[in-house]
Amino acid sequence: MKTRAFTLKYGRGAVSLRLPEGRLLHVLEGRERPALADLPSALREALEHPVDAAPLREIVKPGERVAIAVSDITRGWQRMPETLPPLLDALNEAGVPDERVTILIAVGAHRMNTPEEFQEICGAEVCHRVRVLNHDARDPAQSVPLGKTSRGTPVAVNRIAVEADRLILTGGVIYHYMVGYGGGRKSIMPGICAERTIQASHLWSMDPRPGGGRSRLAQSGITDGNPAHEDMMECASLVPPDFIVNVVPNLAGRICGVFAGNWVSAWRRATRLVDEIYGVEIRERADIVIATAGGYPKDINLYQTTKTMDNAVHAAREGGACVILSECADIREPLEYFRWFDHPSIEEHDRALRAAYTIAGWCALITREYCRQCPTILLTRPENAAFARRAGLIPASTIEEALALARERCGRDDPTYTVLPNGANTLPLAPGAR
């Protein structure tokens, strides 16, 4: 039988395998899109011809105080050292000197970033030009209450952002497995909101029924009816932002699109490019789905690997199985995620999460849900086997073992296969889902 060879990223190396070509349904890689040859020039063009907004130079007034929200160190692919200087230059040309500009690192619920990381995020030039500060969600003095959303979320946002004459959002847009897409309003919620706002808003990612687990509308690529996304939008609208600059990466992780203008319209246009690149229709669901998290650092732990599991289950048939390639060199990190598996059942986990919501707890819950929905084999380091079982996964230390376990779980000796070489970002879509 004719076979097809695959080399899939794993840790700092790769795993090779061969699959029968006649049983291969899909290889879901997304669509190629050329990187922008000159990102600063593309940004300047976007600032002059924004989406549903006047050019930035007409929005800001001379001498105004401007706050710019910038993503933290976990979003380094956004290439802010290249995009921030032209943005600051545009503000200078509009009469806003560097000393009137503050960059807020939109840390959200993540850890504080260091001054050294500020330079990595923004670039040394920018750090010398303007003030750069962390937003600390846990410091009540940093945030100003702005009211409540229609769902009752108490909204408190960073004081510097609220009191600035103009607020500009920056960031990148890819699929997000809770609120549909990253970017846009996420620079405000959770980026620069108070901890109580973040926890209350994220709770809308849960099914309203006790024991119901994750909301079925809190999914990648879904915004209409997604309660977590809709609550975020209301949080941001209470500020609201004056302008946005968002970028989209291609399959190689290089920037292929820049969108500037109205904080809703420009972001939505960016989401359409994400759909074009990363949303891939499938003809039918496979018996076995094989997905790689993408190698180091995307597969450094199980917490990061949940994004790949989320995409893979979309391509598996009912009764099928998934094989996830993730070395997980630090499988016990972050510690908070690890500890959520102390709850002996998914039902107890659900109750505890509703009482004290955290993102790590939600990610741990959906890991358990994936394993309940679809037997999931984790190709990982042998020493990770005990924790993998504790999380509900089936550990394997070789690809041959993983495939044998998957065939056993799906109950077919001659199964069909789908492969996701870029499993963290590629979203399988049912026919007609676009």
The number of folded domains in the chain is 2
Q: Are residues 167 and 305 in the same domain?
A: no
The verdict on 256 and 361 lying in the same domain is no
297/327 same-domain check: yes
**Is 91 contained in some domain?**
yes
In-domain check, residue 78:
yes
Same domain? For 119 and 103 the reply is yes
**397 and 308 fall within a common domain:** yes
Asked if 69 contacts 169 with a C-beta cutoff of 8 angstroms, the reply is yes
- The domain boundary, picked from 241, 258, 277, lies at 277
What residues contact residue 431 under an 8 Å CB cut-off, 6+ apart? 281, 282, 283
- Condensed to tens digits (0 to 9), the pLDDT of residues 10-29 reads 999 999 999 999 999 999 99
Domain boundary among 222, 250, 277: 277
Say yes or no: 24 and 68 in one domain: no
Q: What is the CATH number of the domain that holds 391?
A: 3.90.226.30
Q: How far apart are CA 403 and CA 428, in angstroms?
A: 21
Of 26, 22, 7, nearest in space to 285 by CA: 26
Instruction: Please check whether residue 306 is in contact with residue 363, taking contact to mean a CB–CB distance below 8 angstroms.
Output: yes
pLDDT at 288: 98
Residues of the chain with pLDDT below 50 are none
Residues 272 and 289 in one domain: no
Would residue 402 count as lying in a domain?
Answer: yes
Question: What's the rounded Cα separation, in Å, for the pair 106 and 241?
Answer: 14
**Are 301 and 198 contained in the same domain?**
no
Tell me, yes or no, whether 222 and 354 share the same domain: no
In a domain, 434, yes or no: no
> Using an 8 Å Cβ cutoff, are 174 and 255 in contact?
no
> What confidence score (pLDDT) does residue 434 get?
54
E strand or H helix at 42, and its extent?
helix 39-48
Of 277, 292, 319, the position where a domain reaches its end is 277
Helices (H), 238-297: 265-278
Q: Are residues 217 and 353 in the same domain?
A: no
Q: How many angstroms separate the most distant Cα atoms in the chain?
A: 72
Answer yes or no: is 128 within a domain.
yes
The verdict on 221 and 72 lying in the same domain is yes
With 0-12 / 13-18 / 19 or more C-beta atoms within 10 angstroms meaning exposed / middle / buried, residue 5 is exposed
Do 332 and 361 have their domain in common?
yes
pLDDT at 433: 61
* Full residue range of the structural domain in which residue 388 is found: 3-28+282-429
Residue 262, domain CATH: 3.40.50.11440
Residue the block writes with tokens 């600035």: 164
In a domain, 34, yes or no: no
In a domain, 302, yes or no: yes
CA distance 185 to 331: 31
33, part of any domain: no
